[in-house]
Amino acid sequence: MEAHKVKSEAYKAAGVDIDLAGRLLSGLKESISATRRPEALAPIGGFGGLFRIDLARWRHPILVSSIDGVGTKLMIANMMNKHDTVGHDIVNHCINDIAVQGAEPVYFMDYIGIGRLRSPLYEQVIGGMAEACKAQNVTLLGGETAEMPGMYGEDYDLVGCITGIVEEEHIISGEKIRPGHIAIGLKSSGLHTNGYSLARRILLEQAGLSLDSRPEQLQGRSLGEALLEPHRCYWPAIRKAMQARIALDGIAHITGGGLYDNVPRVLPEGVMVRFEAANIHEAPPLFEFIQNCGQVDPHEMYRVFNMGVGMVWFVPEQDVGNALEVCLGEGYEAAVIGKVFAGEGNVEIIL
């Protein structure tokens, strides 16, 4: 496994504590090592991370990779000075982005761009990523932290790159979605990693709320806690559904742009989806709170936020019962929220 590296551009004379990086990294060694799958090779050479394709298991292996960031949720983490949850966010977001194609996530790499390495921020971010990787049997194979005082101020950026494997014949592509297919929504845990610019503007700027405030509608949680709620990972439900041979004909990860932008990404030509908002399981209360605070048009809410739906599965009608059962069995709230019709590749939401 590649050691995580810290690259400082802060020249020594500027008084940077060069030992800090080494000290922090050695404290993280154990939690990073705990993510090691048997296919991850021991660190050799130390430039790249190495991972064996297990040919006893994969007959026609297709690699599936995705790179992404956490966005300005990081600014909330910074304001709260709490950085473990964004580690979960980036890992889970990346996993979801390849799990929708049926890929088993196998390893993850991270990049942190930061002004000055600081503790406990660094341990919290890497520790959070290691925890999230461990939870999904993903190896945290390597990473790079670039200390660039001239470029980043107090902010930092966090980027993840996930690699997974899927058998070629099991790729989930969406091309089998037909009129009559049912859309199952899996509940999101909160905003996940999208819509934070609008959320910050409405809640912090316009309404002038503090992250410590505990509005009644948030049912006892502080605004900051609700905003930092980690992105949910849906891979366990997808894996189980694939094992149960449920006809998962298409899956959309609902990120920026909500149902409107993400569902069309998996629809073949000639079909459209009609969602019934009334059928969506109860969304986390943060969405309604934002909508009320900002007097946001409901359609606009659906254009910016996931509105309680973190993922949409498309299955033939006869597989709906089994699919819902798998979701519930794995601890995911799920409901039938829409249906596929003949039409052009877009999305209608009936409010």
What is residue 219's DSSP assignment? Answer: T
Q: Least Å distance between CB 192 and its own copies?
A: 13
Residue closer to its own copies (CB basis): 148 or 214: 148
Q: Least Å distance between CB 228 and its own copies?
A: 17
Q: How far is CA 305 from CA 180, 211, 288, in A?
A: 26, 20, 11
Q: Least Å distance between CB 319 and its own copies?
A: 19
Q: Least Å distance between CB 271 and its own copies?
A: 15
The b-or-e profile of 132-163 (16+ CB within 10 A means b, else e) is bbbbbebbbbbbebbbeeeebeeebbbbbbbb
Residue closer to its own copies (CB basis): 85 or 101: 101
Residue closer to its own copies (CB basis): 221 or 250: 250
Q: Least Å distance between CB 197 and its own copies?
A: 4
DSSP string for residues in 121-145: HHHHHHHHHHHHHHHTT-EEEEEEE
Q: Least Å distance between CB 9 and its own copies?
A: 4
> Rounded to whole angstroms, how far apart are CA atoms 10 and 18?
9
Instruction: Name the token pair of 292.
Output: 């009320």
Task: Please name the residue that has the structure tokens 């969406």.
Answer: 174
Instruction: Name the token pair of 244.
Output: 């149960």
Residue closer to its own copies (CB basis): 162 or 221: 162
Angle separating helix axes 121-135 and 84-99, nearest 10 degrees: 30
Q: Least Å distance between CB 263 and its own copies?
A: 11
DSSP string for residues in 145-201: EEE-TTT-SS-EEEEEEEEEEEEGGG---STT--TT-EEEEEEPSSSTTS-HHHHHI
C-alpha gyration radius of the chain: 21
Residue closer to its own copies (CB basis): 250 or 338: 250
> Rounded to whole angstroms, how far apart are CA atoms 59 and 126?
34
Residue closer to its own copies (CB basis): 36 or 200: 200
Q: Least Å distance between CB 117 and its own copies?
A: 14
Residue closer to its own copies (CB basis): 44 or 342: 44
> Rounded to whole angstroms, how far apart are CA atoms 304 and 258?
6
Report the residue count for the chain.
351
Judge contact between 114 and 80, C-beta under 8 A: no
Residue closer to its own copies (CB basis): 92 or 163: 163
